[in-house]
Amino acid sequence: MPLVSMRQLLDEAAKGGYGVGAFNVNNMEQIQSIMEAARETKSPAIIQASRGARAYSQDLFLYYLMRAANELYPEIPLVMHLDHGNSFETCKSAIELGFTSVMMDGSLLPDGKTPSTFEQNVDVTRRVVEIAHEKGVTVEGEIGVLGGIEDGHGAGGTGLEHVTDPDQAVEFVEKTGVDALAIAIGTSHGAYKFTSKPDGSVLKMDILIAIHKRLPNVHLVMHGSSSVPKDLQDIINQYGGKLKPTWGVPVEEIQLGIRNGVRKINVDTDSRLAITGAIRKVFAETPEKFDPRDYLKPAREAMKKVVALRMTQFGQAGHAGDYAPISIEEMKKRYAAETLAAK
């Protein structure tokens, strides 16, 4: 099966009423964890790389690792997605490299920190949609600004400063023609999202539901959606780590989102926590070990476990074999014929 477009995966998820986790990667072990989890749970998969990941692993390493994943797991519909493209040029280079989906995060200026104006966001996103759809590639846009900072990208803050305005969301989709829309509802990147279990005062599920009512056919994306589970925090702290008490996005809230139009759920921190806990455990319990495989194997296994659990909780499990892939060439024709026009 070739790498598929994210639009196809999300259209299928909408038909089936489930969500698809989009898991961040920087290296081979993380890609292997996701593919093994996808095989075990029979899930379609979205693997995403940020600008930071592309710089860390180099584009070509990443590209060929993704191609290898695709070849070794032919039964899994697999999307290679750019997370938080900061500019037209970043998205263009990802499309040229072979990513089948890109996020143009025009909610921030190209510095990846300063919130942009609505007009600036529309302008850059629309230009990316133009070049992406010409090549059959999917585009995710963002309206409203997330909190926190990830890999140097982000406005910081709690995530409540720039919650998405539902009216603007409608106008943004109309003016840009994006395939998927990331919204800001109080979540933020990283481990420190909430200081207690979040309620409606900090996690604005009511805004998400209002946006879905206005845009019932648009695929919504929840960023900053790690649940930061206590058991993963505890393993890290038990073996010498120093995480402060923190709360993530409860899985039940994500499931409520999925019932209200959320089709893509971004998860990075939970994988990072699982990996770090597993490595700390090996270092603490067997300090005489020095073969990287001794700690990377358990790390890979720990990440696989949390990813497989999320795939099951998001509902994508069991859906890998539901549909035949539509080639990127065919997607190109469908965009040109406007059968995939903005909804």
Query: Which residues are known catalytic residues?
Result: 83
Residue 90 near ligand 13P by CB under 6 A: no
Residue 87 near ligand 13P by CB under 6 A: no
- What track of x and - describes contact with ligand 13P for positions 210 through 239 (by CB under 6 A)? -------------xxxx-------------
Q: Which of 54, 189, 264, 304 binds ligand 13P (CB under 6 A)?
A: 189
Considering the complex, state which of residue 24 and residue 41 has its C-beta at the smaller distance from ligand 13P. 24
Q: Which residues contact 61 (CB under 8 A, 6 or more apart)?
A: none
Considering the complex, state which of residue 84 and residue 133 has its C-beta at the smaller distance from ligand 13P. 84
Shortest Å, Cβ 226 to ligand 13P: 3
Tell me the C-alpha distance between 210 and 86, whole Å: 27
Residues forming beta bridges with residue 39, ordered by sequence position: none
Among the listed ranges 69-77, 120-128, 168-176, 265-273, the one in contact with ligand 13P (CB under 6 A) is 265-273
Residue 81 near ligand 13P by CB under 6 A: no
Task: Report the amino acid identity of residue 300.
Answer: R
- Of the candidates 305, 323, 264, 251, the residue with the CA atom closest to the CA atom of residue 83: 264
268-307: contacts with ligand 13P (CB under 6 A): 268-269
Q: How many chain residues touch ligand 13P (CB under 6 A)? A: 14
C-alpha Rg value of the chain to the nearest Å:
19
Cβ-count burial of 240 within 10 angstroms (0-12 exposed, 13-18 middle, 19+ buried)?
A: exposed
Considering the complex, state which of residue 83 and residue 253 has its C-beta at the smaller distance from ligand 13P. 83
Among the listed ranges 126-134, 230-238, 261-269, 320-328, the one in contact with ligand 13P (CB under 6 A) is 261-269
Question: Tokens 């900090």 map to which residue?
Answer: 202
Tell me the C-alpha distance between 176 and 243, whole Å: 41
Tell me the C-alpha distance between 43 and 21, whole Å: 10
Tell me the C-alpha distance between 129 and 105, whole Å: 12
Length of the chain: 343
Question: Tokens 């279990």 map to which residue?
Answer: 197
Shortest Å, Cβ 150 to ligand 13P: 6
Residue 253 near ligand 13P by CB under 6 A: no
133-172: contacts with ligand 13P (CB under 6 A): 150
Considering the complex, state which of residue 126 and residue 223 has its C-beta at the smaller distance from ligand 13P. 223
Tell me the C-alpha distance between 314 and 342, whole Å: 25
- Of the candidates 183, 108, 187, 116, the residue with the CA atom closest to the CA atom of residue 152: 108
Considering the complex, state which of residue 5 and residue 187 has its C-beta at the smaller distance from ligand 13P. 187
Q: Which of 57, 121, 266, 313 binds ligand 13P (CB under 6 A)?
A: 266
Considering the complex, state which of residue 104 and residue 331 has its C-beta at the smaller distance from ligand 13P. 104
Vertex 14, ends 216 and 123: CA angle to 5°?
60
Shortest Å, Cβ 337 to ligand 13P: 32
Using CB under 6 A, list all residues that contact ligand 13P.
Answer: 24, 83-84, 150, 189-190, 223-226, 266-269
